[in-house]
Amino acid sequence: MSPCSPPDPHRVETGVRMLRGWGLRTEVAWDGGERPPEIRAAEMQQALESPGVHAVLVTRAGKGAEELLPLLDFSVLERQPKPVCGFSDVTFLHHAIAAAVRRPSFHTPELAWSVRLNGEHSAASLRETLLGEASGLQAGQGVVRSRGPAVTGRLRGGNLSALARIDATAAAKGDILFLEELRETPQTVGELLNRITARGHLAGVSAVVFGQFVECGDAEQLRAVLDDWCERSVQTVLAGIPAGHGVEQETMAMGWPVSVEPATGTLSYVSSPTDAGLTW
């Protein structure tokens, strides 16, 4: 589906070919042009409510998800769970789902598949998650040093810029906050961190997980900004999770209990996200 910006049709074809190669019956709801929010929201609501649709994968993020929020009813996912998949601007949808139901949504690469960014590793992660075989993610080189004790909590969050525009209606004590970003300066990253703090996204958080911060200026300056904020905010930090706008993005369940272990660099699911009654 394309509830946000129109995607590149050739990249959509690549993604659809990949899904069909896994044996998944795939329909593309997209007409290739700009559409008003009412039409995009109605199309998405129909997919959420249809018993014949078992997963909703967003073709491209970009912009447009925020204006759909007043027009969508995610409570249907409590009665009929299904993966809603995407990232970046789709953070608005992930947040709304986490506020409405206790079901997972999925932070995934765009279905308008970029072979430049996402290779076999990204594809395998998406496939494993959709087919109920995912166990978690392993951190690589992070933007800051991972530290603190292991904790368990519900994972929420997403794109930092998107979170800075919404109040933390999905927040609960003990949550683990995931953050990633693209093309911001260290200074603006600091401003965005202060903004999400003011909006309540840090309230009750037991740990922060950093994903990919891509083209965000000088690495040392960025590290200093993130370290300073973490020192004032949380004890447990896990950095280097391969999710966001970088290469080989992995799929991650949002709104779902995870265990974070900085010593081993692991983010693992307490139970499979498909235990939520997904109908795939």
Instruction: Report the CATH number that the domain containing residue 203 is assigned in CATH.
Output: 3.50.30.60
Last residue of a domain, one of 111, 134, 157: 134
Q: Domain range holding 217?
A: 137-269
121-166 pLDDT, tens digit per residue, is 999 999 998 888 888 999 999 999 999 999 999 999 999 999 999 9
Mean pLDDT for the stretch of residues 29-44: 87
From CA 186, how far away is CA 192, in angstroms rounded?
10
Q: Does residue 275 lie in a domain region?
A: no
Is pLDDT at 275 greater than 80 in this prediction?
A: no
CA distances from 3 to 27, 30, 92, 246, 255 (A): 15, 9, 12, 22, 21
**Number of domains forming the structure of the chain:** 2
Is 207 part of a structural domain of the chain?
yes
| 63 and 123, same domain (yes or no) | yes
Same-domain status, 180 and 81:
no
The reported pLDDT for the residue numbered 277 is: 66
**pLDDT averaged over every residue in the chain:** 95
**Beta pairing class for 151-159 and 256-261:** antiparallel
